[in-house]
């Protein structure tokens, strides 16, 4: 028996019409440009807090807050990789590359990797972005520290600089893109080295205090958020089971560009970030939702780490 996706089921039930779905898929530059302006202003405020706290121990709290905003460049880059952030295609490429540079995630490579993630979501050995359910509390905390993540990212960058790909990468990277991926990594590494060299030569270490250290401090928060998307969900192809949406506060929805509606995004990845709340309302009852947000998702993950069954928060279709 074929399992219908929430989108097709909602269409069959009349909860969502094809005209409504087409309208939700409409792309526009304006919503992203408006949010990008607010995003830059937010970075200015959090960066200003780092500057104000520079002679105090509070600088570490300020850098953490600034870092949480900085690591959410991932969310904007993610939207750009789907070409749904902006209607204008080149804006997605330019902004996506800038975001990737901020967080050490080459944009071209990420686009291909992420495409395979959508194709093989939560299937072990096939999903290149799959985060395994940790074996025990120690492994859980180790992953949240972000040390394994940074080790993997730096290894990946150095490998591509050297012109090497893993077997997994060869599966999703077209042969004609290999050279592009290698040069992308080399240019990124060269730019980082040039910035570090400038700091060393001038004695001005602004990038360390306003960029690199905050990103390192903020990445555990991003690791925690990324875990809530799929970790602890069944490792099956069924899209009604393998992805979790989280109901979170407005500030978090702003930071993550509505990617807390992650199940909706997987079911209709052509729907731009600004239309995901409307899609969520249409799919209410057809998707797996964690009403307690990121905190609740981690409680569910911890339940499974301690040998208990996952909490059944999946909504059921209305009668």
pLDDT digits 0-9 by tens, 245-283 = 999 999 999 999 999 999 999 999 999 999 999 999 999
The whole-number pLDDT of residue 173 equals: 97
Express each pLDDT in 201-244 by its tens digit: 999 999 999 999 999 999 999 999 999 999 999 999 888 899 99
Can you state the angle between helices 89-102 and 178-202, rounded to 10 degrees?
A: 50
Pairing of strands 289-290, 245-246: parallel
> In the chain, what percentage of residues exceed pLDDT 90?
86
- Tens-digit pLDDT profile for residues 165-208: 999 999 999 999 999 999 999 999 999 999 999 999 999 999 99
Output the pLDDT for position 297. Answer: 97
For residue 309, the 8-state DSSP code is P
Q: Is the pLDDT of residue 319 over 60?
A: no
Concatenated DSSP letters of 46-106: HHHHHHHTTTSTTHHHHHHHHHHHHHTHHHHHHHHHTT-S-SSHHHHHHHHHHHHHHTT--
Question: Is the predicted pLDDT of residue 10 greater than 90, yes or no?
Answer: no
Residue 3 pLDDT greater than 60, yes or no: no
Q: What is the pLDDT of residues 56-110, one digit of tens each?
A: 999 999 999 999 999 999 999 999 999 999 999 999 999 999 999 999 999 999 9
Q: 290: part of which helix (H) or strand (E)?
A: strand 289-290
How do the domains of the chain map onto residue ranges? 26-237
Q: How far apart (Å, rounded) are the C-alpha atoms in residues 319 and 316? A: 9
CA angle 78, 139, 145 (to 5 degrees): 55
């Amino acid at each position: 028996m074929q399992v219908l996706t929430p989108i097709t089921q909602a269409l069959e039930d009349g909860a969502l019409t094809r005209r409504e779905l087409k309208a939700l898929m409409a792309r526009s530059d304006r919503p992203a440009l408006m949010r990008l302006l607010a995003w830059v202003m937010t970075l200015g405020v959090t960066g200003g807090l780092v500057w104000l706290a520079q002679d105090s121990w509070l600088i570490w709290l300020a850098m953490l807050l600034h870092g949480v905003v900085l690591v959410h460049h991932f969310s904007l880059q993610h939207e750009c990789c789907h070409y749904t952030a902006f209607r204008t295609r080149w804006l997605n490429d330019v902004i996506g590359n800038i975001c990737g540079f901020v967080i050490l995630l080459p944009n071209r490579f990420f686009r291909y990797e992420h495409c395979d993630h959508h194709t093989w979501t939560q299937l072990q050995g096939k999903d290149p972005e799959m985060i395994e359910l940790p074996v025990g509390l120690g492994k859980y905390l180790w992953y949240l520290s972000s040390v394994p993540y940074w080790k993997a990212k730096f290894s990946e960058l150095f490998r591509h600089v050297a012109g090497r790909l893993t077997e997994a990468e060869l599966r999703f990277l077209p042969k004609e893109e290999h050279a592009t991926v290698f040069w992308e990594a080399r240019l990124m590494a060269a730019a980082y080295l040039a910035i570090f060299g400038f700091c060393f030569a001038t004695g001005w270490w602004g990038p360390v205090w306003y960029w690199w250290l905050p990103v390192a401090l903020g990445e555990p928060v991003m690791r925690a958020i990324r875990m809530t998307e799929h970790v602890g969900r069944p490792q099956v192809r069924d899209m009604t089971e393998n992805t979790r949406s989280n109901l979170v506060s407005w500030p978090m929805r702003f930071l993550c560009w509505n990617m807390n509606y992650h199940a909706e995004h997987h079911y209709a990845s052509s729907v731009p970030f600004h239309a995901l709340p409307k899609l969520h309302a249409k799919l209410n009852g057809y998707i797996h939702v964690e009403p307690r947000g990121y905190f609740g998702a981690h409680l569910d993950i911890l339940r499974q780490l301690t040998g208990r069954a996952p909490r059944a928060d999946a909504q059921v279709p209305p009668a």
